[in-house]
Amino acid sequence: MPKIAIDVMGGDHAPDEIIKGCIKASKDVSCKLVLVGEEVIIKEKLSAYTYDVSKIDIVHADEVITMEDSPVIAIRQKKQSSMVVGLKLLKEKQVDGFISAGSTGALLTGATLIVGRIKGVERPALAPIIPTKTGYSLLIDCGANVDAKPNYLKQFARMGSVYMEQCLGVSKPKVGLINIGAEEEKGNQLTKEAFKLLSEDREINFYGNVEAREITEGKVDILVCDGFVGNIVLKFMEGFGKWILSMLKTEFMRNFKTKFAALLLKKGIYTLKDKFNYSTKGGAPFLGVNGLVVKTHGSSKAQEIYSTILQTEGFINNQLVNKITNNLN
């Protein structure tokens, strides 16, 4: 039986919401869930639930890496933290995947130093799904590498292509390079050189440059950029989604007529809300790590933990890490 380790102590709502999400997921997955954290606390929280005890194990870890900790120092010094212990379980093949809502920087550092990179990968990348007019696109990288080299972006495109094709069923996914103009000569030194590498790689179905206003059009399946740009895009879209929904609520609650209009448009409004509801989409895998490491939002509550566990089981079943390894090698 495959096993997924979960960092119970990481995130804004740990451990309560993490455990609640694990209990819910244990009923719908075939994997065994390994809860990593303070054993006494975990057992106390679990006592409030009815669940199949054969589906859940506990691994004790008595330290916690906080958002304020320096990522490198924390990984090296907090050897008994829930994050480090979970990553070691993955490294030693005692589990098949690891999920954390903890510090992104610490998780990337730990994944790289403890689990290691796939042979040939220069930098792992964080790859979330973002909503578009036609469905969803993969954004890679969204924060793991704020400084990047052209070859990193080519590898991001390769890894993203395998992910989209093997896990999301997109045949020959189109790759777009986020840039300030559509023309080949536009952009800075990084994007100009990356454009050339992407154009020459026959393993990549390269569309060309994608301007910021085209990101939500869904013209491409994969949006490639450095982590600095990607993180801005991701957080802007999350904030924009909340703003749109807030404005709609304000406008529809003005008077009886607008309330009636909202009732008629109820189905469409809920569809739009679901597009921007990240709690149902799961987390983002660190592509390029020699093991399955999935980062979920620091503010994750039970529903997103549940979704991330289901998503991670899908990655395991699809052998995502092996397929990326084979493609790059």
DSSP helix/strand/coil, 258: helix
pLDDT at 278: 59
**pLDDT at residue 268 above 80?**
no
State the Cα angle at 42 between 69 and 81, rounded to 5°: 25
**pLDDT at residue 173 above 80?**
yes
pLDDT at 32: 96
Instruction: Say if residue 323 is exposed, middle or buried (CB neighbours under 10 Å; 0-12, 13-18, 19+).
Output: middle
Asked whether this chain's domains 3-121+288-328 and 129-275 adopt the same fold, the reply is: yes
Q: Which two tokens stand for residue 178?
A: 């986020």
Q: What is the pTM of this model?
A: 0.86
- pLDDT confidence band for 277 (50 / 70 / 90): low
How does DSSP classify residue 50? Answer: -
Mean pLDDT of 192-218: 94
Mean pLDDT of 60-77: 92
Distance of CA 36 to the CA centre of its chain: 20
pLDDT at 267: 76
Mean pLDDT of 252-260: 79
Report the C-alpha gap between 64 and 7 in whole angstroms.
10
pLDDT at 276: 62
pLDDT at 272: 65
pLDDT at 135: 86
Estimate the crossing angle of helix 39-46 against helix 16-26, to 10 degrees.
Answer: 60
How does DSSP classify residue 18? Answer: H
Distances (CA, A) of 98 to 110, 124, 198: 12, 15, 31
For the chain, the domains span 3-121+288-328, 129-275
pLDDT at 312: 95
Question: Is-cis flag, bond preceding 71, omega within 30?
Answer: no
Phi, psi of 201 (to 5 degrees): -85, 110
Query: pLDDT tens for residues 114-170?
Result: 999 999 899 999 999 888 888 889 999 988 888 899 999 999 999 999 999 888 889
Question: Is-cis flag, bond preceding 147, omega within 30?
Answer: no
- pLDDT confidence band for 184 (50 / 70 / 90): confident
Count helices and strands (H / E) in the chain: 12, 12
Contact assessment for residue 160 and residue 173, using Cβ atoms and an 8 Å cutoff: yes
**Sign of the four-CA dihedral 164, 167, 169, 172:** positive
98-107, 231-240, 255-264: the lowest-pLDDT one: 255-264
Report the C-alpha gap between 16 and 199 in whole angstroms.
48
Q: Which two tokens stand for residue 63?
A: 């330290």
Mean pLDDT of 230-256: 84
**pLDDT at residue 310 above 70?**
yes
Query: pLDDT tens for residues 76-102?
Result: 999 999 999 999 999 999 999 999 999
**Fold for domain 3-121+288-328?**
Isopropylmalate Dehydrogenase (3.40.718)
**pLDDT at residue 259 above 80?**
no
**pLDDT at residue 37 above 60?**
yes
Estimate the crossing angle of helix 227-252 against helix 266-275, to 10 degrees.
Answer: 160
Query: Average model confidence (pLDDT) for the chain?
Result: 90
pLDDT at 280: 59
pLDDT at 263: 76
Report the C-alpha gap between 122 and 128 in whole angstroms.
19
Report the C-alpha gap between 172 and 146 in whole angstroms.
28
pLDDT at 326: 85
CATH class of residue range 129-275: alpha beta
Give the 3-state secondary structure of 134-196. Answer: CEEEEEECCCCCCCCCHHHHHHHHHHHHHHHHHHCCCCCCEEEEECCCCCCCCCCHHHHHHHH
Report the C-alpha gap between 19 and 306 in whole angstroms.
10
**Sign of the four-CA dihedral 216, 220, 222, 228:** negative
Instruction: Give the HSE-up count for residue 210: Cα atoms under 13 Å, Cβ half-sphere.
Output: 26
